[in-house]
Structure 1
């Protein structure tokens, strides 16, 4: 399981880094894309915090300047790899409150996979926003990453 998650998070890291670099080259990043990518970073941070049992320091929809994305992204990735490396049981159940204060329980495995799936979902929305704004979307397909 550790190898599986390491590969998924390597891919996630690659995709986010590509988007950070693409946005860094734009004269003006679309507002919707800023909101969505900030949300990707925040959600990753929040899920990491839930897994390790500490309070999150970021809000779900808190927006970040494009210049700050890389640092947040690296910190999220570093924390996730520590979680993966230290996990002795991916089926460990974790109780947490969602952003609306409702209580839930999921496994570490569920939470880690959710980070990947959630990020992919919102990256696709960002690429659609790029297209809508006349910006050529970048290819983030897994097969291109593996080539």
Structure 2
């Protein structure tokens, strides 16, 4: 299955919407250290992948560093801006361009922009599910971040 640019753009609108919903909940609720750590990871990973998409070295960037809720607010804004701008310059054929990057262990990989963007969108959803599990364990209501809810 090959995702179109329109589908990927919709996935990133959903990503931002879902990040906003998680952020709002984490801002008003009692501190949940593990949920904050997972949310920080989502945002750091989005930044790392954006850096790789731009062809820059990401080896120095944190991936599991904890960030304050205030820092998360800024990262959500910056990541949204970066990806919205990046996606606005792409075409369907541009999605097939290969990006070379090194992971945190220094191993080099080559993936299409399409695959990287798909990964970023799905990676965050995976960890938002983990955050919801932690919220439920703390007797809090999980946040509905389902794509179909976003589309409604």
Q: TM range, normalised to the smaller chain?
A: over 0.9
- Residue 14 of structure 1 is matched in structure 2 by 17
Unaligned runs of 5+ in 1: none
The Cα of 1:3 is off from its aligned counterpart by 2.0
1:128 aligns with 2:133: yes
TM-score for the superposition, normalised by structure 1:
0.94
- Residue 84 of structure 1 is matched in structure 2 by 87
- After the TM superposition, which segments of 4 or more aligned residues of structure 1 sit over 6 Å from their partners? none
Cα RMSD after superposing both structures: 1.3
For 1:81 and 1:139, the matched residues in 2 are separated by 23
Deviations 1:56-102 (A, max 9, x none): 46301111101221210111111112221222411111111111111
Q: How does 1:17-36 map to 2 (within 5 A)?
A: 17-26=20-29, 28-36=30-38
For 2:118 and 2:43, the matched residues in 1 are separated by 15
For 2:138 and 2:106, the matched residues in 1 are separated by 36
CA contact (8 A) 1:2 1:85 kept: no
CA contact (8 A) 2:57 2:101 kept: no
For 1:132 and 1:84, the matched residues in 2 are separated by 37
- Residue 144 of structure 1 is matched in structure 2 by 149
- Residue 114 of structure 2 is matched in structure 1 by 109
- Residue 46 of structure 1 is matched in structure 2 by 48
Unaligned runs of 5+ in 2: none
- SS across alignment from 1:55: coil
For 2:116 and 2:76, the matched residues in 1 are separated by 17
